[in-house]
Chain A
Amino acid sequence: MGQFLFSFFACFAALCAAGVVVCKNVVNAAMCLLLCLLGVAALFIRLDAFLLAFLLLLVYAGAVVALFLFIIMLLDTRGEQAPQARRGLTIVPRVVAVALIGAGLASLALRGRLAAPAAADVPAVGASLKLYAYLLFTTYLLPVEIIGFLLLTAMLGVIVLSKREGEHSGYGN
């Protein structure tokens, strides 16, 4: 059963990821990304990382994809969909790409065996919320503070970026 679930969600995520790359329509690509994230969240649950699966759904599927859809609607780029004739790839990138993929597959075939115990033999430390809280507030307290500062900076940056040019600050006018 577990193996079937893993196979199903792995294929699902990979197919949806291919959909993101292939779909001509931007909205369809965003929907494929959403489905792919659902598949990855299911795999997180298979890996006993319940908090991370929840956060992935909340942050990525809930906020990021919704933001993408908002921007797609806002920009309305349908008028410029007509692509000019796509230039064919020249010979050099073809050779390089085939060589790289071949090298990757060869290294996978030769040395692609990671020695790891079965999941049942290892305690699922990622399953408990307590450990996350403990580590985030002891060992990783400084990174947490820095991340908070980063989010604040990003928020201010977005506000500055989204101001129209020549527009004075909102105070007084």
Chain B
Amino acid sequence: MLPETLNSYVILSAVLFGLGFLGVLLRRNTLVIYMCLELMLVASTLALVAFSRFNGTMEGNIFVFFILTVAAAEVAVGLAIVVALFRRTQTVRVDRLDALKH
């Protein structure tokens, strides 16, 4: 049983953030990298909501509201870029997107 304290919430948020970061570093598929980015954003929102709840303030909650909106816009633009990239190069793997190397 985990104690339901601010500490546990922050540690869980750090774990989720770390897993997302690991995914961004290790995976080669652009779509999965995007999903891991989303995971990192959600992890940070969890920490904000927990701090807000345990301090009795509203600022963290409002900030999460804005993060959700920005994340939605970011996903729309990012996926449009992925689709445009796929049309041009026929791949979404980052190890094949090496045009700047040559």
Contacts and interface: CB of A to CB of B under 8 A. Distances in A.
B4 A154 contact: no
Given A17-B20, A157-B77, A162-B80, A52 B53 contact: no
B22 interface: yes
Contacts of A164: 87
Interface in B33-85: 34-36, 38-39, 42, 45-46, 49-50, 52-58, 61-62, 64-66, 68-77, 79-84
Contacts, number: 201
Interface residues of B, number: 68
A33 B4 CA distance: 23
B46 A40 contact: yes
A33 B15 contact: no
B26 A21 contact: yes
A26 B1 CA distance: 33
Interface string A15-45: 0011011000010011001001100100110
A49 B31 CA distance: 30
Main secondary structure of the interface of A (DSSP, over half): helix
Nearest to A147: B69
Contacts of A68: 31, 34-35, 75, 79
A14 B35 contact: no
Given A17-B19, A40-B46, A112-B7, A60 B38 contact: yes
Nearest to B4: A6
A161 B36 contact: no
A75 B53 contact: no
Contacts of A91: none
Nearest to A33: B35
B2 interface: yes
Nearest to A153: B73
A3 B3 CA distance: 6
Interface residues of A, number: 73
Given A13-B16, A75-B82, 15 more contacts: A20-B20, A43-B9, A44-B46, A60-B71, A71-B31, A71-B79, A75-B31, A114-B7, A116-B5, A116-B7, A125-B56, A125-B61, A140-B62, A155-B76, A161-B80
Interface of A: 2-4, 6-7, 10, 13-14, 17-18, 20-21, 26, 29-30, 33, 36-37, 40, 43-44, 46-49, 51-52, 55-56, 59-60, 63-64, 67-68, 71-72, 74-75, 77, 80, 83, 104, 108, 112-114, 116-119, 122-126, 131-132, 135-136, 140, 143, 147, 150-151, 153-155, 157-158, 161-162, 164
27 contacts: A3-B2, A13-B16, A17-B15, A17-B39, A21-B19, A21-B22, A21-B23, A30-B35, A33-B39, A36-B16, A36-B39, A44-B49, A52-B65, A56-B42, A59-B72, A60-B38, A64-B75, A68-B34, A75-B86, A80-B93, A125-B56, A126-B49, A126-B52, A135-B58, A151-B73, A157-B80, A158-B80
